[in-house]
Structure 1
Amino acid sequence: MSVNPDRWKQRLQNLQRAQARLSKACEQESYNELELAGLIQTFEFSFELSWKTLKDLLEFEGYDVASPRHVIRTSLEARHLNAVQCETLLDALIKRNLLSHAYDEKHVLEAQALIVNSYGPCITNVTNYLVKKNLDE
């Protein structure tokens, strides 16, 4: 299988745009019902792009990875993530489906807190690392 050396860099551009939207959404003081739905959706999209960008980078570096869990764990081994980022992204992976089906107020508020306080900042840190890595090459 031939790996496009620019694929991870191309996907990184999409991740940067998604992460910027997520950061902006996380900055709000309060949310109405539609804004909360948008926050969760923006997180889902950003999370998908995060692990897929890491996957493309790992494949470029010669790793054979497939599932999101394998990508996240291998990213730790390859030193693209630190232990806290790895655990945060694994937690986000586990809770991703729960977050997308958060219909009652308790679960929606739990999703908001996780995204604003944990997952969003982690995605920002990972994106910043990847941008720096791209610039250093």
Structure 2
Amino acid sequence: MKHANYKANLSVLRQAPEQDLQNEFVLSGIIDKFAMQFELSWKLLRKTLEYEGRLDAATGSPRGIIKAAYDAYDFIGEGIWLRMLDDRNAAEHVYDAMLARRLADDIIGSYIATFDDLLANLERLYPAELLETF
């Protein structure tokens, strides 16, 4: 279930600020966890949009789902989600240590909070039993 996986992965990603950010292996792990969290996010949003009967949930693209979620939910900040999408796409090609550090700083500085906000709002809107089916 995407909701359970979302919560479990986010729990690990929340540990990022406590890690040795000078270690390239650690940075790589944080970036990988971020990429996984982003994947779980847009797929969870797709499930909620499908539940709501939104036809735009049928799109197969993360960008389309983000735009549909922005339209459907007042707690989705389109700008930050599109930045996260761009960073997720760029993360596959991060070979430079300074770029990796910048991405890790963004993950720690704002992206984890955005993932937390999504979780809190979905848990506010939908009963736990329903979320567990997503």
What's the TM-score once normalised by structure 2's chain length?
0.84
Aligned to 2:28: 37
2:9–2:37 CA contact under 8 A, matched in 1: yes
| 1:28-76 superposed Cα distances (whole Å, 9 cap, x missing partner) | 2532111111100000000100010000110111112221111111112
Task: State the identity %.
Answer: 29
Given candidates 73, 84, 90, the residue that maps to 2:67 is 73
- Give structure 2 stretches of 5+ with no counterpart: none
Q: Distance in 1 between matches of 2:28 and 2:50?
A: 33
- Give structure 1 stretches of 5+ with no counterpart: 1-9
Q: Distance in 2 between matches of 1:70 and 1:80?
A: 16
What's the TM-score once normalised by structure 1's chain length?
0.82
Aligned to 1:48: 39
Correspondence 1:104 to 2:96: yes
Given candidates 9, 15, 18, the residue that maps to 1:28 is 18
User: How many pairs align?
Assistant: 125
Aligned to 2:4: 13
- The structure 1 segments of at least 4 consecutive aligned residues displaced by more than 3 Å after TM superposition are none
Aligned to 2:125: 133
